[in-house]
Amino acid sequence: VLFLAYFALQVVYARRKYKISPPETTGRPEFERIFRAQANCSEYFPIFISLLWVAGIFFHQSVAAVCGLLYLYTRFKYFQGYTAAAQGRLGPLYASAWLLWLLLGLAVAGLLAHFVLP
């Protein structure tokens, strides 16, 4: 949640810096990249938190926590890269997508072990 607050504050600061009043979402390219990076991170957060929760409960807490911390780090790097240049988002984007797939696999494995194998 702190990451989402940080990203939202960056949009607020960019609105002030580039003098773009809400509800406008267009303006200078620098603002649009910050706004889009924040929106992208917010869109993926419910998926991340759901997979983290299920993987932590049904697979293993420590493995899910490590994946969760790595995911948060890659999203932070994504935000930083996207605000600097649009191409700067690609490496962290692929890493965060890979971690979401990993969490999905862990969640499915944990659910299968819990409900099918006993």
Catalytic (active-site) positions: 16, 89
**What whole-number distance in Å separates Cα of residue 58 and Cα of residue 5?**
29
For 23-30, the CB contacts below 8 A with 24+ separation are: 30/83
- In order of 53, 69, 113, the CA distances from 79 in angstroms are 23, 15, 36
CA-CA distances (angstroms) from residue 43 to 18, 40, 46, 73?
24, 5, 7, 17
Which of 61, 46, 58 lies closest to 107, judged by CA?
58
